[in-house]
Chain A
Amino acid sequence: MAGSRRRAGRDPLNVGRVLPAVLIAILLGGCSGVQSVLDPAGRDAEVLARLFWWMLGGAVILWVLMNGLLVYVSRIDTRPLSARAAEWLIIGGGIVFPTVVLAGLLSFALSEMPEQRAPGSGLTVSVTGESWWWRVEYLPDGAETPVVSANEIRLPVGRRSEITLNAHRVIHSFWIPALGGKTDMIPGRETRMSLEPTRAGEFRGQCAEFCGESHALMALGAVVMDEDAFAAWLEKEAAPAVPPESDAARRGQAVFNAEGCGACHAVRGTAASGRVGPDLTHVGGRVSLAAGILPMTAEALMRWIRDPEAIKPGAMMPGYDHLSDDDLSALAAYLEGLT
């Protein structure tokens, strides 16, 4: 009976042997990539990564010393210590040593903080946490009106940009691990940070403060560009939407208008001017869809519009499952063309 039960329950994969390998793979997987603290691409992230390695090194040394001592006194030399030696061990090892080590680590960490908050030069990006997406506004030096975008933040490489943070209704936290530390976004209170990317490339941010059903699905594309490429991109982002070019796209725009998408979404240069949802003027030019959750493809756009709730529980956008596949693909063609 017991034997047959064991045989029936036997796992063809042999979990006991596979699990450690899987865990190690997951752990190592965190060491590089677009959303890793350990693969820094910004001045502030470099500081934090260095801090982490120092702390890890220190922790490993302490762990080895402590356990070495434990083995030594319990296995190798088990004679009792004299009262005097024990006293010095307790005072030295239990009070003085940790106090000195902690004070050193604390001052090291604190001394790194002012730089994390150094003022930016030139560009200010204002990011507002919404449920469950990001409103992003660029304010280049001297500009009066912001360039409105969403769900993606682009920064020039090699210079420090100012990031001001706000939240609508609930608390969020802004965190792009490859670029810098995290800062809370609090309704009714503006917070700030600054970021100085050192390497061009595509990275990924993640909301780091629980904010509701789809908190875990509130990510953020982060693109670091060369200064010139950034300037060109920002100029394009500031411009109104390009008119639809293909027949499908033109039909898509008609569906967009007929379905009233413009009540929530703005497409600058058209009648659509809603501010409830993300600005879609250049949605097709983003690296991802729905706040870093889906790829920017026609297929994903159709899936999203048909049933946002299925992709992000609690999404503040109604589903359009009454639309025919034809209409949906026309909509997708229109939105994809909004580069």
Chain B
Amino acid sequence: MLGPRESSLWHMISAPTIWALHFCVVYGWTASVCARGPDPAAARLGIGIATAVALLGIAVVGWRAWRQWDYLDDYDYEHDGPSVEDRREFLGHAGWLLAIVSAIGVIFVGMPALFIETCL
């Protein structure tokens, strides 16, 4: 669906995409739960589930990106040659770093759930 790993950009940006979706889901869910009738417990539960699912997704994406980079194979983190291998490793390397940033972002976005007590 996302195209071949070694040339498609989609694999590289799927972690930030999960982060963006998580952001929308958390904000939308909290707003609608609180508008229907203040229910901080439901808001917290929903944010918790969304955050767990997003982190799981990012972990999978990140693991595959790490494999694609296969750093431990050749300890190579310069990928500026015009070869299929360099392109594959570059996309994997970037995808791995983006997965780390996305995981941090998802945790920060989800963190208020630990403290939320009212809807107002």
Contacts and interface: CB of A to CB of B under 8 A. Distances in A.
Contacts of A113: 112, 115
Main secondary structure of the interface of A (DSSP, over half): helix
B83 interface: no
Interface residues of B, number: 12
Interface residues of A, number: 13
B41 to A, nearest CB: 14
B115 A95 contact: no
Nearest to B114: A110
A192 B117 contact: no
B84 interface: no
Main secondary structure of the interface of B (DSSP, over half): helix
B120 interface: yes
A111 B116 CA distance: 9
Given A95-B100, A99-B104, A117 B111 contact: no
A196 B79 CA distance: 60
Contact of B117 (A103, A117, A191): A117
Contacts of A192: 120
A114 B118 CA distance: 8
Contacts of B27: none
Nearest to A109: B115
B120 A111 contact: no
B120 A114 contact: no
Contacts of A107: 111, 114
Given A110-B114, A110-B115, A103 B120 contact: no
Given A107-B114, A110-B112, A192-B120, 7 more contacts: A103-B107, A106-B111, A110-B111, A110-B114, A110-B115, A117-B117, A117-B118
> Which 4 residue pairs across A and B have the least CB separation, nearest first?
A114-B117, A110-B115, A192-B120, A117-B118
13 contacts: A95-B100, A102-B108, A103-B108, A106-B108, A107-B114, A111-B115, A113-B112, A113-B115, A114-B115, A114-B117, A117-B118, A191-B120, A192-B120
Interface of A: 95, 99, 102-103, 106-107, 110-111, 113-114, 117, 191-192
